[in-house]
Amino acid sequence: MQHAMARYKPQDRNGLFLPVILSEQIVPGSFAFALDYLVEHELDLSELDARFRNDEVGASAYDPRVMLKIVLYAYSQGMISSRAIARACLHNVQFIALSGNSQPSHAHIAKFVSGMGEQIKSLFAQVLMTCDAQGLIGGDLFAIDGVKLPSNASKERSGTFEELLQRARRLERAADKIVEMHRGQDFCAPEDQMDARRQARVNALRQEAARTREFVAVSSEMPNRKGTEIKTNVTDPDSGKMATGKGVIQGYAAQAAVDAQHQVILAANVVGSVSEHDMLLPMIEQTSTYLQPDTVIVADAGYHSKDNVNELARLNIAALIADKQMRKRDERLAGQGRFKPATPTLHNKMAPGAGPVPKRFDVSDFQLKNPRICICPAGKKLVGTGRVYRYGEGKSHRFFKADMTDCAACELRSLCLRDPGQTTPRSIRVSRETTRRIAAKKDKANQVRAIDLMRQAIDTPGGRALYSRRIGTVEPVFANLRHNKGFSRFNLRGRDKVNTQWHLYCMVHNIEKLAASGWKKA
């Protein structure tokens, strides 16, 4: 028995002439709706308007509001190429609606992004003000971290000036070798008869060598804190070589300070050839508008340095900056050694059972309270004998002696007395030079005291609980931008332009938070 075939209505996916009202394509509650309302009614774009002086003469320009909307919407959809954005403005209904069917070219889009400069910071701050007005900034904990992203530069063109000159010489030798091989194969034919493909290769090698030499001639070496030359890049000198879990990249470390309540980005910046720990204080300074007296700043060990910790203590800013030994001090990770290889990677040359010889307490380990009293490392008093031995011009020693009963029962005898079995107590003599050294040591101790206090704070249960919120605050932000938005690399060159692109992506993230909060649903 034969069954009848079902019949369906025809489908047509070719172009159709449809009556479309563009304003109705921006659905309330969506990211596009929040973006459109924000740009049209909340942001002050007078600085962008001031760039145009064509009110009387000159061609009409694309509205910067339109350009900002299509760029931010494109970044939210994973589009970073200006050509892809230009195509979307021709064929995608959402882009056509946001742009009012303006259809800017890829050149105009690229010029708009790369030319924003310092104006992007003002726009970023205005979006933050709207987020704050919606109650999206809690202010109890700010997490600072960075993500390393490749730039539009080749790491093969990176190195010290000497390494770059060596590369230029190698390129020139390679070009000469191709010419010699051609002459040998073609019976010493002149160079101008070389085939087009080989000649293009020779020209490219020599042009790259000349470009490298010119860069070295007009640039200046950049030393680090230790005076060592920092490697630079011919294509993008502001970028730097950075080690990642997937190898070494040529790029930038994008910085972000994130509020813990709704993961709103409060500050953004990029760093190339400068160390990340130099960015901690500038990032905190950018968050000063929303920094409250009880706000806690958390950051990983990449931002830890003596200068940073001391400055935070001076500014009275509550912060938990991890040091490199924090995980080793955590008893919760006491069993992590079982995951390490049984034999150490480096050979231990010390004899079995041998260990470093303990250092005997010297005068600098004693605290000189006044000319009559001195305190030993065990906390006992040494009393001045009144004897003053003078030698040389203006030089003298003052003698102090401990009580015999204190030394006899002291547990630190082996570190204090030359012979732990002796019955005579410890005595010291303090010179004026020694007094100065002790004072200098106290000053140094005061400087490291801030580091000790932070170490103690981060090792407490409360400190660990606060610091553990760091990864859950800032890492989802980077995951959203890198995975959901497809932001895997910068396609611009120069720190200013790269910083603009990073701010734009951070603005997309914050506008998403506004849209998700129910802001301006209708």
Query: What is the tally of structural domains in the chain?
Result: 3
Mean pLDDT of 355-359: 60
Q: What is the pLDDT of residue 98?
A: 92
Q: What is the pLDDT of residue 84?
A: 94
Instruction: List the beta bridge partners of residue 267.
Output: 257
Whether residue 379 lies inside any domain: the answer is no
Is position 410 within any domain? no
Amino acid identity at 39 = V
Residue 482 lies in a domain: yes
Place of tokens 């530069």: 153
Q: Bridge-partner residues for 240, per DSSP?
A: 251
Same domain as 255, residue 209? no
Q: What pLDDT does 346 receive?
A: 46
Stronger pLDDT, 369 or 164, i.e. the higher one: 164
How far is it, in rounded angstroms, from Cα 260 to Cα 320? 14
Contacts of 152 (CB under 8 A, 6+ apart): 235, 236, 489, 490, 491, 492, 493
- Lowest mean pLDDT segment, chosen from 6-15, 75-84, 225-234, 277-286: 225-234
SS3 labels along 431-468: EHHHHHHHHHHHHHHHHHHHHHHHHHHHHCHHHHHHHC
Structure tokens at 24: 């109705």
Q: How high is the pLDDT of residue 298?
A: 94
Helix, strand, coil share (%) of the chain residues, nearest 5: 50, 15, 35
Please tell me whether residues 325 and 309 are part of one structural domain: yes
Residue 230 lies inside a defined structural domain of this protein: no
Chain centroid, CA 216 distance in Å:
27
Domain match, 261 and 207 both: no
Q: How far apart are CA 463 and CA 518, in angstroms?
A: 34
Are 328 and 457 part of one and the same domain?
yes
> What is the rounded average pLDDT of the residues 304-311?
89
Give the separation between CA 310 and CA 320, rounded to whole angstroms.
Answer: 13
**Could you give the CA distance from residue 488 to residue 82 in angstroms, rounded to a whole number?**
16
Q: Are residues 26 and 110 in the same domain?
A: yes
Q: Are residues 260 and 315 in the same domain?
A: yes
Question: Which residues lie closer than 8 Å to 271 by C-beta, 6 or more apart?
Answer: 146, 252, 253, 255, 278, 279
pLDDT of 94-104, one tens digit each?
A: 999 999 888 99
Q: What is the pLDDT of residue 341?
A: 57
Residue 347 confidence (pLDDT): 46
Same domain, 311 and 253: yes
CA end-to-end distance (rounded Å), the chain: 58
Q: pLDDT tens digits, residue range 236-247?
A: 888 888 888 778
Measured CA distances, 300 to 219, 311, 470 (Å)? 34, 17, 8
Query: What is the pLDDT averaged over residues 243-258?
Result: 88
Q: How far is CA 199 from CA 161, 192, 206, 213, 340, in A?
A: 28, 8, 11, 21, 55
Asked whether residue 4 is assigned to any structural domain, the reply reads: no
Q: Please check whether residues 191 and 272 belong to one and the same domain.
A: no
Mode of pairing for the β-strands spanning 381-390 and 265-271: unpaired
Residue 317 resides in a domain: yes
Helices (H) and strands (E) counted in the chain, each on its own, are: 18, 13
Give 37-60 pLDDT, tens digit per residue: 999 999 998 888 888 877 777 788
Query: Is there a domain that residue 16 lies in?
Result: no
Tell me, yes or no, whether 262 and 278 share the same domain: yes
- Measured CA to CA, the distance from residue 19 to residue 419 in angstroms comes to 102
Q: What is the pLDDT of residues 370-399, one digit of tens each?
A: 777 888 888 888 888 777 777 666 677 888
Residue 514 has pLDDT above 90, yes or no: yes
Give the confidence band of 355 by pLDDT, cuts at 50, 70, 90.
low
Kindly state whether residues 509 and 486 are assigned to the same domain: no
205/279 same-domain check: no
| pLDDT of 13 over the 90 cut | no
Amino acid letter, 474: V
406 closest CA partner among 397, 416, 392, 396: 416
Question: For residue 193, what are the domain limits?
Answer: 161-220
Q: Taking the model in full, what pTM does it have?
A: 0.74
Residue with tokens 């760029």: 71
Same domain for 96 and 174, yes or no, is no
Classify residue 104: in a domain, yes or no.
yes
